[in-house]
Structure 1
Amino acid sequence: MDSPNPMPSERETEDGASESAPPPVYNPAATRPVRFVTGNIMRHVVVMAGTGAIGLMAVFAVDLLNFYYISRLHDPALTAGIGFAAAVSYVQIAVSIGLSIGLGAVTGRLLGAGKPMRARRLASAFLLVMIAGTAVLGSATALLASWLLDLIGASGEAKMQAANFLHIVAPSLPLICFGMAQSSLLRAVGDARRSMQVTLAGAGISAVLDPILIFILHLGLTGAAISTLCARSVVLVVGFASLRRHHMLEWPRLFAVRPAVARIGKVALPAMATNLATPVGGVFVTHFMAKFGLEAISGQAAIDRIVPVAFAMVFALTGSVGPIMSQNLGAGKKGRVQETLGAALLLTALCVLVTWVLLALFHGEVIRLFGLYGVGAELARLFCCWLVGSYFFVGLLFVANTAFNNLGYPLYSTGFNWGRATLGTIPFCWIGAHFGPIGILYGQCAGVLIFGSAAVLTAFRVIRRL
């Protein structure tokens, strides 16, 4: 005779942990787990990258506006200060991006393999680890801000302004990390529109608050920091509300933390190391530029803010193409994986060509817009008219990294990115510095040409060996 109150049955998961039955209620229609395994690949790439680019462009446009507003105060210490602070902040953001890439890659692969419940369980557990880790990193950055700024050559009023900015912004790293993770999960389930809305919400808040805090309340760089803090909070709230529609979050289960870290960490840690390479390389460039004064730092800071807006589509490919590759890999469709890589490279070439033409035509307006003069104006002119073409090879590197991270070869992306950030940056920029700040830009271009070409050739080899 059956017991009137039978014990819940236990079943073993593939991650080695038992899970009580019945599982949480799940709406299979909400996640659309096989969105990318059928249909036109180029269309998927354009839609995902296009919506991602709009979101990224909005975020980076606000960063560009920050720099513009600060430049309107006509204080070189402030414009240099925001450049120094950005060099440190980008390291933090790189950690968040790397963790989000790992989360999206593993989740997308599980969805493509028809395992949405496991994807939700591991994603929710890993989010808990992400928040804890970035809380420690953000607090440590705030405490060590002055020391970190000394390392990259900041001094005087510029250093003080940058330190104040980091003291406000750095501890909020868990907010933006959680927001990025939610956006990554939305892309993994194929909801490009809501993923875009998450980033647009934060950008909208910054666009409204920046002029109020910087000009009306006369808070300067501190106002920009407060605006950033508010924007990150909004990104978190909007991302959480958007993701709930897909039933991809649940209360984290402690037994799932270990398998989540083991499985997602295999992709996330190398991806994090990969993404750290770019800002670390930027730190070296800032260090070399600092020797030529505040004008050179201001010119480099302007370039660093023009690039993300101008190449938002190229940067968006990194996060947007990943879910397409991982879903098709999970479904065993190798041919569509290779087709995705080819479509991404074609789109990269087109974007760089259009951007090159526009920046070359309007380089004078760019220089006047940011009030650049002297060495800073020379750097901006050289970049807009000639060296912008080198970002085709940056795009090759980014697309190749996406393939490595989503196809099970994350250490390849780590190797190529750190190769570019060290061997492709330090010796070339050191040699270039002997010819002035312009030589530093030429050195950057030479390094990325070598490593971008090698990375994309290796990516095609990886796909052939799948």
Structure 2
Amino acid sequence: MAIQAKTSFTSGNLFRHVSVMAFTSSIGLMAIFAVDLIDIIFISMLGQESLAAAAGYASTLMFFASAVNIGLSIAAGALVAKAIGADNEVDAREYATSVAVISVIVGILIPIITLPNIDFLLSLVGATGQVAEMAASYLWIILPTTLLSGMAMTAVAVLRAYGDANRAMYPSLAGAAVNAVFDPILIFTLGFGLEGAALATVLARFVTMLVALYPAIARYRAFAIPRPRCVMRDFGDAAKIAIPAVLGTVATPVGAAIVTREMAQFGSDAVAGMAVINRMVPVVFAVVLALSGAIGPIFGQNHGAGQHKRVREAFFDGLIFVAVYVLVMSALLFLLREPIADLFDATGMMRSLIFIYCGPLALAAFFNGAIFVSNASFNNLGHPMYSTWINWGRSTLGTLPLVILGASIWGAHGVLIGQAIGGIIFAGIAVSLSMRMIDDPNRSPLKPKFLCPDERMQIMSNRCCRS
């Protein structure tokens, strides 16, 4: 019996689809990032500023591993959503399986490559001495579980492709709950400190993976038993999206590493302030961060169904949604900037950096959101390399010279200001490029093929993982 998508984005109110997908996706993200934020609060309560700085450096390197998993999940979501839009259940299942296998392989290779070189990698982002040692011990615990995170992200992306926003939200909530429970136990009760926070994250990743895989398999039969020749056959289609998506996503931690290194020259106090901001921002702007993954299935299903007018409408609804949300949250941050700084016992430079972000710099989240919406259009409409170019441009040309210039003029504050200016410039480029692509759908190399029933059945009969 055919398994139907829970929600079809090819009909109905697009702004409602965007809002529902964004908010449900963001709840899971917000839960994860809220626990990360609580980690910093707990670590700050230990009374050692160097621990917060170590967590900041470790997070920068962890972002690289997460970026690879995110890129692979983007490929899974794009391929599965397009297949669902074209009413091709078998392709949807096989693409999901192939990307899942690839994510496991990559999840094994990342720690094998990075852990023996962890001291060198930490030195690249400015970590030295005892802070570097603490960051390394944190990473030795977390990085080996990269494959768990990769499987969970792939399964969640597949659930979103089927339009099941609620079940795609539950894995992150479950993981966050586990993390929140075990954080104080491992950090304080058992006295593991920073390593306790890492162990809690490992437990959370395992639970997240289980909660994501169960509905994907039990309800949608979204994955098949992996077979080498199926994976090899589908690798090319997956790679066309996965490789550019991974490269594009990895650009973000490159930019973060550049910013961290420039901020390090102003001392551990400044790095600790930036670590707080980096943990706080994803909680506050989780809806914006979730929009790329949330709106992707909407693009993908309508693209697969050949409804290009709705693709265009979805793009603008996404931008409008981002604008409204950022304005509201920026106003709240400004009003609550003092309590937020007090929550972290922030003083001196650390407090000053939190204040400037909770002031005008929070508005820059709109431009980041515009880049996310544009990247979703690139990845789901057949031009994933555009996303790669935009992200790398944003993280290099739009970061390094501007943060250096900003630091030379305004000090530590200038690092954040330069980073925001780069986002504004590349958001304009991304939106312009997206509109050109959407207005000319014939340019897409992934333009869907509409087959007669006999042709579709012939193709399905040749698939090696058919039901």
Measured against the shorter chain, the TM-score band is over 0.9
Q: How does 1:342-361 map to 2 (within 5 A)?
A: 342-361=316-335
State the match for 1:18 in structure 2: none
Alignment-mate amino acid for residue 243 of structure 1: A
Contact 2:75 2:99 (8 Å CA) reproduced: no
1:178 is aligned to 151
Q: Distance in 1 between matches of 2:161 and 2:99?
A: 15
* Contact 1:298 1:372 (C-alpha < 8 Å) held by counterparts: no
Aligned with 2:233 (options 259, 284, 289): 259
Equivalent position of 2:216 in the other structure: 243
Q: Write out per-residue CA displacement over residues 352-384 of structure 1, whole angstroms, 9 at most, x where no aligned residue.
A: 101100000000011111111111111110010
Q: Distance in 2 between matches of 1:396 and 1:275?
A: 15
What residue is the counterpart of 1:132 in the other structure?
105
CA positional deviation for 1:274? 0.9
Paired residues, number: 439
Partner of 1:465: 440
TM-score (norm 1): 0.93
Shift of residue 142 of structure 1?
2.1
Identity fraction in percent: 41
The correspondence for 2:246, drawn from 272, 275, 278, is 272
Would you say the 8 A contact 2:56–2:271 is kept in 1?
A: yes
Matching residue within 177, 200, 203 for 1:230: 203
Shift of 1:34: 6.6
Counterpart in the other structure of 2:414: 439
Report the Cα distance in structure 1 between the residues aligned to 2:199 and 2:162, rounded to whole angstroms: 33
The one-letter code matched in structure 2 to 1:350 is V
For 2:15 and 2:126, locate their aligned partners in 1 and report how far apart those are by CA, in whole Å: 45
Q: Matches of 1:264 and 1:45 in 2, distance apart?
A: 25
Is 2:293 the counterpart of 1:319? yes
Secondary structure in structure 2 of the residue aligned to 1:281: helix
Aligned residue for 2:428? 453
List structure 1 runs of 4+ shifted beyond 4 angstroms: none
| Distance in 2, Cα, partners of 1:442 & 1:122 | 42
Residue-by-residue CA offset, 1:43-86 (whole Å, 9 max, x unaligned)? 11111111001010001000000011101112011000000000
Q: RMSD of aligned C-alpha atoms? A: 1.0
Query: Which residue is 1:19 aligned to?
Result: none
Deviations 1:238-258 (A, max 9, x none): 111111111111101221112
Consecutive unaligned residues in structure 1, runs of 5 or more? 1-26
Q: How does 1:112-123 map to 2 (within 5 A)?
A: 112-123=85-96
Correspondence 1:162 to 2:108: no
Letter in 1 for 2:418: G
Quote how far apart the aligned CAs of 1:126 are.
2.5
Q: In the alignment, what sits opposite 1:306?
A: 280
Q: CA deviation at 1:33?
A: 7.2
Matched, 1:396 2:370: yes
TM-score (norm 2): 0.93
Deviations along 1:276-296, one digit per CA (max 9) or x if unpaired, are 111110000000011111000
The amino acid that maps onto 2:75 is: G
* Preserved contact between residue 9 and residue 302 of structure 2 (Cα < 8 Å): yes
| SS of corresponding position for 1:434 | helix
2:144 counterpart of 1:141: no
Pair 1:406 & 2:374 matched: no
Looking at structure 2, the residues matched to 278 and 234 of structure 1 have their Cα atoms a distance apart, in angstroms, of 27
Q: Which amino acid aligns with 2:405?
A: I
Q: Residue 34 and residue 329 in structure 1: after superposition, are their counterparts in 2 closer, same or farther (change >3 A)?
A: farther
**Contact 2:53/2:268, CA 8 A, preserved across alignment:** yes
Structure 2 Cα separation of the partners of residues 369 and 459 of structure 1: 41
Aligned residue in 2 for 1:65: 38
Q: Structure 1, residues 132-153: CA drift from partner, whole Å, max 9, x if none?
A: 1121012322222111101111
Counterpart position of 2:302: 328
State the AA in 1 paired with 2:181.
V
Consecutive unaligned residues of structure 2, counting only runs of 5 or more, are 442-467
Alignment equivalent of 2:176, drawn from 203, 211, 225? 203
Partner of 1:290: 264
> Take 2:112 and 2:36, find their aligned partners in 1: how far apart are those partners?
22
Query: Paired residue for 2:452?
Result: none
